[in-house]
Amino acid sequence: MTYIPQRPPVQYKGLSLVIARLATWLGGIVIPLLLQLAWPVFIAAIVVIVAFVWVVGRFINPLLPWIVRDFIVVVGLLAFACIVAIIGIWGERKVAGRIQSRLGPMRTGVWHGWAQSLADGLKFVQKEDLIPREADGPLFRLAPYIALVPAFCAYLALPFGVGWVFRDADVSLLFVLAMLAIEVLGVIMGGWASNSKWSLYGAMREGCQLVSYEIPMGLSLLAAVAATGSVSLVQLGEAQSGGWFSWLIFRNPFLFFAFFTYYVASLASCKRSPFDLPEGESELVAGFHTEYSGFRFVMFFFAEYVAMFAVSALATIIFLGGWHSPVGGPSTPLWFLIKSTFLVWVQMWIRWTLPRIRIDQVMHACVKYLLPFTLLLFLGSSLWQLIDNPTHPVFEGFAHLLHYGLGVIGLLLLGLYFAGMVYGYWNRNRLVGQMARKHLPGA
């Protein structure tokens, strides 16, 4: 008689048993009722809330409507960040497909698999999230939250437009940097708590990499602050109103390179290739989140995409004139979204083309090349103010000349990019090759 292992019956004990029974009993009654009169209940609920807020606001605490406004804005920001992450996950897989001459997800959702990340989320939610036996329980459970929450908090201080910001503190640039700095702790805690040597290596690499790349990141931003004199993101954005040539990236040559060093450092700070050593798949299996499964893994995954957009948003606001349009039209948050998504696309593009670099090369790159270079840029940008002020007409002329020269270089780069796209599309048959054409109906 062959032995078929029977699943041990699961006994819900104590409080969870009571809650489970209560919930099912209550749900059984309330939900069908609600379904029949869904719409009236919904409208009634809104009316009640508004009335409550108005009454309390009028008589008890005049601040309440503002609190509700802030609450709604925060929930909106949270939703925006989640949407950004969801679109990011789906976008990354489509971009990867396109770069590797395949289609990417096509099945979930009708058009080009748009519901892929929702399906992933659903799959992860019902996956069992294991905890290794000797893992450090509370730290293991806490790590994803410490990785995720700061990434969301960074959005509080990010201005999408002049009035479009939750709270415009005059240190909002530093606030966003600080929030991105806390994320390290979550990853290190996760790596340490999963009690496996591989994830400990991932945590160690994460520790070295992020702490050391914060300095060049901060310094290249300081170069921009030195040029405009204020640390508040809104004022930084406002300083770049006017067309293409008034953007901070073309303000002086030092700032032009500061954008690129900032971008490289931001790649390292949100663990994107070629700096994705903490979860170096081919060496460390999956780095710090090897032992994580189910919804905890989704949090780490989300944190990465949310941080990615936050870092690109910072770059657009400071260097690429955030919500101002290059061609002089009205400056709306739409421009901000376009530029940020373009920078996020570049991060994905880099990930699927470049291999990973080694941990000692990461360190050498930071200490020997990036740090001195950004120090030089900061020095140069602050000294530039001596030249670029109206009292010295000669220097001022020279400064303006260089100013427009850099703008033209920027235009050339953009033109090069679009030319590459047109060239790629024009002879896609030859590049992709018949092989793919025969097999890929949609390519």
Partner 1 sequence: MLETVIFFLFAAVAVVAGLAILLSTNIVRMAYWLIAMLISVAGLYFLMGAYFLGVIQILVYVGGVAVLLVFGVMLTSRQLAPRLRPGPGEALWLVVVATVLLIGLILSVTHARFDQGAIVASNSVAEIGHSLLGDFLGPFELASVLLLVALLGAAYLARPKAPVQGAQQRKGTAI
Partner 2 sequence: MKEIELHSQPDLLHDGEVPSDIRTEEIMLNMGPQHPSTHGVLRVVLQTDGELVLKATPYIGYLHRCAEKIAEKVTYRQFTPYTDRLDYLSAMNNNLGYALAVEKLGGIEVPPRADYLRVIFAELNRIASHLVAIGSYGLDMGAYTPLVYSFREREWIMDLFEAACGARLTCSYITIGGIREDVPEGWVQQCREFLDYFESKIADYNNLLSYNHIFVNRTANVGICPADLAVAYGLTGPCLRGSGVAWDLRKATPYCRYNEFDFDIPVGQGANGTLGDCWDRYFVRVLEMVQSVRIIRQALDKLTEGPVQTKVPRIMKLPAGVVYYEVENPRGQLGFHLVSDGGTSPYRLKIRGPSFCNLSVLPVLAPNCLLADIAALIGSIDVVMGEVDR
Q: Which helix (H) or strand (E) holds 318?
A: helix 294-319
Q: CA end-to-end span of the chain, whole Å?
A: 55
Q: Does 281 bind partner 2 (CB under 8 A)?
A: yes
Give the amino acid at 98: R
Q: Does 434 bind partner 2 (CB under 8 A)?
A: yes
Q: Which of 73, 96, 185, 286 binds partner 1 (CB under 8 A)?
A: 185
3-state secondary structure of 334: helix
Q: Give 103 or 181: the residue with its C-beta nearer to partner 1.
A: 181
Q: How far is CA 274 from the centre of its chain?
A: 17
Q: Which of 74, 99, 171, 443 binds partner 2 (CB under 8 A)?
A: 99
Tokens 């300081």 — which residue? 222
| Span from 78-86, 116-124, 357-365, 377-385 in contact with partner 1 (CB under 8 A) | 357-365
Q: How buried is residue 266: exposed, middle or buried, by Cβ count under 10 Å (0-12/13-18/19+)?
A: buried
Q: How many residues bind partner 2 (CB under 8 A)?
A: 33
Determine the Cα–Cα distance for residues 318 and 248; give it in Å rounded to an integer.
Answer: 7
Q: Give 134 or 360: the residue with its C-beta nearer to partner 2.
A: 360
Determine the Cα–Cα distance for residues 150 and 187; give it in Å rounded to an integer.
Answer: 12
Q: Give 95 or 154: the residue with its C-beta nearer to partner 1.
A: 154
CA distances from 412 to 166, 353, 408, 415 (A): 36, 23, 6, 5
- Residue 361 binds which of partner 2, partner 1, none (CB < 5-8 A, kind-dependent): partner 2
Q: Does 139 bind partner 1 (CB under 8 A)?
A: yes
Determine the Cα–Cα distance for residues 180 and 149; give it in Å rounded to an integer.
Answer: 10
Q: Does 170 bind partner 1 (CB under 8 A)?
A: yes
Q: Segment 17-46, which members bind partner 1 (CB under 8 A)? A: none
Least Å distance between CB 417 and partner 1? 34
| Span from 61-69, 96-104, 154-162, 181-189 in contact with partner 2 (CB under 8 A) | 96-104
Q: Does 334 bind partner 1 (CB under 8 A)?
A: no
Q: Does 283 bind partner 2 (CB under 8 A)?
A: yes
Q: Does 379 bind partner 1 (CB under 8 A)?
A: no
| Span from 37-45, 280-288, 325-333, 381-389 in contact with partner 2 (CB under 8 A) | 280-288
Q: Give 95 or 370: the residue with its C-beta nearer to partner 1.
A: 370
Q: Segment 11-70, which members bind partner 2 (CB under 8 A)? A: none
Q: Which of 26, 48, 50, 100 binds partner 2 (CB under 8 A)?
A: 100
Q: How buried is residue 255: exposed, middle or buried, by Cβ count under 10 Å (0-12/13-18/19+)?
A: buried
Give the amino acid at 299: M
Give the amino acid at 369: Y
Q: What string marks each residue from 178 to 197 as x (binds partner 2 by CB under 8 A) or -?
A: -------------------x
Q: Give 109 or 207: the residue with its C-beta nearer to partner 1.
A: 207
Q: Give 361 or 429: the residue with its C-beta nearer to partner 1.
A: 361
Among residues 258, 205, 195, the alpha carbon closest in space to that of 227 is found at 258
Buried-state track 68-96, b at ≥16 Cβ within 10 A, e below 16: beeeeebeebeebbeebbbbbbbbbbbbe
- Residue 435 binds which of partner 2, partner 1, none (CB < 5-8 A, kind-dependent): partner 2
3-state secondary structure of 396: helix
Q: Does 134 bind partner 1 (CB under 8 A)?
A: no
| Span from 29-37, 218-226, 235-243, 281-289 in contact with partner 2 (CB under 8 A) | 281-289
Q: Does 274 bind partner 2 (CB under 8 A)?
A: yes
CA distances from 247 to 7, 20, 36, 234 (A): 65, 58, 56, 14
| Span from 174-182, 184-192, 311-319, 429-437 in contact with partner 2 (CB under 8 A) | 429-437
In the DSSP assignment, the letter for residue 62 is T
3-state secondary structure of 330: coil
Q: Does 149 bind partner 1 (CB under 8 A)?
A: no
Buried-state track 197-212, b at ≥16 Cβ within 10 A, e below 16: ebbbbbbbbbbbbbeb
CA distances from 45 to 33, 54, 55, 59, 402 (A): 15, 14, 15, 21, 61
Q: Segment 192-251, which members bind partner 1 (CB under 8 A)? A: 192, 200, 203-204, 207, 210-211, 214, 230-231
Q: Which of 188, 221, 233, 406 binds partner 1 (CB under 8 A)?
A: 188
Give the pair of three-digit tokens for residue 372.
């001195």
Q: By the criterion CB under 8 A, which residues form the site for partner 1?
A: 61, 63, 67, 136, 138-139, 169-171, 174-175, 177-179, 181-182, 184-185, 188-189, 192, 200, 203-204, 207, 210-211, 214, 230-231, 359-360, 363
Q: By the criterion CB under 8 A, which residues form the site for partner 2?
A: 96, 99-102, 197-198, 201, 273-274, 276-277, 280-285, 352-361, 433-436, 439
